[in-house]
Amino acid sequence: MLITMVFLYIVISAILIIVGGLKKSRTVLAALTILLWLSSLLSAFFVGWAWIERSYSENWAMYGVLFIALPLIVSNGILAVAGLIVASARGIERRKQVFQSLYLLLLFLAVQVVMGIWAA
């Protein structure tokens, strides 16, 4: 069930990137950014949980990082970079807010990776 949900999430995000690029719509790319931020907050929950339980000898929370957070972090990173490339290549007007949000998202994902590694 998790694989189908992740596949559906990636397909919806890819459709938003394609539609936003073809129509040169900042609104569609902003919707993509909101979707990416919501899923990155979900992965941050599992990373934070692993960080809290890092002192235990049996760190079961790392399974959440490995099987839920890490695939979300990787897919969000790829989709964010694709959104940045499409927004810059298509010349979307007033794209500064979308760029800032996606750059902050990439920074947030990098922090999650570092905290996930330290929690191990």
Q: What CA–CA distance (Å, rounded) separates 17 from 32?
A: 7
- Give the type of residue at 36: L
C-alpha closest to that of 21 among 75, 89, 76: 89
Q: What is the pLDDT of residue 90?
A: 78
Q: Are 51 and 115 in contact (CB under 8 A)?
A: yes
**Structural domain range at position 55:** 2-119
pLDDT tens track for 49-86: 998 888 887 778 888 899 989 999 999 999 999 999 99
Q: Is the pTM of this model over 0.85?
A: yes
Total domains present in the chain: 1
Distance between CA atoms of residues 37 and 20, nearest Å: 17
